[in-house]
Structure 1
């Protein structure tokens, strides 16, 4: 495999921007998503709301065949009970086009992920290895399309439960009691939801929108809840959040290196940048073997991206970094040549036993310290901060051989049903997969899975 096999998508997915575009992207992302800018945007949204005399309006976008949407649906009644909000609910189709790089994997991951995360949040999602039968999906969609927002809030979870459980009789009973929209009305409802979502600059299901900001599913509700509480909207300010982010707790039991935590990072991923060091620390704290398996950034693999998706990811990563207390935001875009140069040094860094430090240094430099890795001086700083010899490194820049290693990692990631970064996989002592998930917001779940594996060993 060589870099030439991948096409430059151009536009928002440009994998080799010129100097000006690289500078503009870096400057814009750095300025837009500082904590101060984000707070200012929230304040402006609140000022507009007050001036217009509008309620605290939250919009929710539900994708019927999406596992994350079913988790979110279970929270809707509690959300309107806790907070003095007007909750509008819309049906939407799934993402498409350049917002859906791997259509064959996304829904499968949503089912697998929802099954594993649901009990941790006190929610329910049945194991569902196969795609939904089309007749059940269509019937559930027709029932929900017939509801106004109040009916949707009250019944979406029950409809989803019947559908995901494969209970056709329960769906028929719900249709008889709640009504069922015609196909034309279903299409109109989906088109209406999709148009509104697009006008608000998003593309996915299980999304909440409030005051110019997006919140994904139950995993980002803690951001929305904190914002609403800060505005005095909570009816019970002393109560804990409905869905708080679980803490990343390494636990008390220690492994002897029999378990393996695989980490799949890339060097241009905001989510990788805010989680890589924490993943490394989790492995060290728990005693599991760490296996770092870097891959190319998605746009350098020929995967297109849209401006809307890129903007949301950078905003969300900044918000998540702030909540976790992780340095982030002074950004110098490393896409293209800087990434290739860094990866050309990676095999040597592995030989020197400094591969983890090298990836950490590069990510910190590009996403938190404002180091311009497009210049040799910047790459020199990254190399030396990793404890490596720049004189040796400079002679090795551009060497081949790294491409095959990264392609092997990409194939392994895809075989696990994953495609984005950071992805993680926990293997047991027999190298069998215990858990494989995508996302920096799943590290806490891997910490719990490690402890459960160690508890099982103790009890054996």
Structure 2
């Protein structure tokens, strides 16, 4: 069974636009997915990327156009200009949920939808608790495991850098060391898994 490390950020609109395609692809090929939330801004700093606020206006204008195009193409409504927020609390909840076992994919989608479809602040306790509940988890996970969540979040970043990750969403097939960057590469991931 193939193992996929899925590096994501809770503030990435591209992770939101991935929807449930990764999980459908993994199920089709009998692959397992480990969710590894990371701090994308630190990842950019460490791997030669540029934080969005430091990018040229032409790049940011094009990004907005692409987000709109992909949103329409995938049928996923998106709010593009949501204010920046702290991604860590929602990431800690994902880490705690993965430890607890259950529908982690559903939680990831609930958090990303809260941010990009509803425009909610995913750093707020009530938003995280609602996402946990929606995905079938105990909302109390938002309070428990914060220390472990913080440690794992930091370790995920180190692991990402070591694995050659430089952006999000990023899919690393451990069995073959094949890497796929971006939700627009999921078809290639699907094709690759069919060869294993």
Structure of greater Rg: 1
Choose which of 358, 378, 393 in structure 1 pairs with 2:141: 393
Unaligned ranges ≥5, structure 2: none
SS in 2 for 1:261: strand
| Corresponding residue number in structure 1 for 2:119 | 370
The 1-side partners of 2:127 and 2:21 are apart by 24
CA RMSD, Structure 1 to Structure 2 (Å): 2.6
Task: Give 1:407 shift.
Answer: 2.9
- Residue 294 of structure 1: aligned partner: 37
Q: Does 1:318 align with 2:68?
A: yes
**Partners of 1:402 and 1:394 in 2: how far apart?**
10
Distance 1:376 1:291 in 2: 24
Aligned partner of 2:183 in structure 1 is: 440
**Higher RCO (Cα < 8 Å, 6 or more apart):** 2
Q: Distance in 2 between matches of 1:299 and 1:334?
A: 18
Q: CA deviation at 1:318?
A: 2.3
Deviation for aligned residue 1:331: 5.5
Matched, 1:352 2:95: no
1:273 aligned to 2:16?
A: yes
1:328 matched to which residue of 2?
Answer: 77
CA distance change for structure 1 residues 413 and 395 in 2, over 3 Å: closer, same or farther?
closer
Q: 2:170 aligns with which of 423, 429, 445?
A: 423
Counterpart contact for 2:8–2:35, Cα < 8 Å: yes
Q: Indicate if the aligned counterparts of 1:263 and 1:423 stay in contact, CA closer than 8 A.
A: yes
CA spacing shift, 1:449–1:262, aligned 2, 3 Å: same
Q: What is the rounded CA distance, in whole Å, between the counterparts of 2:83 and 2:147 in structure 1?
A: 19
User: Using the alignment, how far apart are the partners of 2:43 and 2:160 within structure 1?
Assistant: 16
Q: 1:404 to 1:284 in 2, by over 3 A?
A: same
Counterpart in the other structure of 1:194? none
- Distance, in Å, in 2 between the alignment partners of 1:262 and 1:374 is 24
Cα distance change on mapping 1:394 and 1:279 into 2, 3 Å = closer
Equivalence for 1:383: 132
Question: How far did 1:411 drift?
Answer: 2.7
Q: Does the C-alpha gap of structure 1 residues 291 and 374 become closer, same or farther in structure 2, counting only changes over 3 Å? A: closer
Q: How does 1:71-110 map to 2 (within 5 A)?
A: none
Please give the residue correspondences for 1:31-430 in structure 2 after superposition, counting only pairs within 5 Å.
258-298=1-41, 304-305=51-52, 306=55, 308=57, 309-325=59-75, 327-330=76-79, 333=82, 335-337=84-86, 339-354=87-102, 355-390=104-139, 392-396=140-144, 399-428=146-175
State the SS of the aligned residue for 1:420: coil
| CA drift at 1:343 | 2.3
TM-score, with normalisation over the residues of structure 1? 0.37
| Number of residue equivalences | 188
Structure 1: gaps (5+ residues): 1-257, 454-460
State the distance in 2 between where 1:317 and 1:386 align.
26
- CA shift in 2, pair 1:260/1:311, >3 Å: same
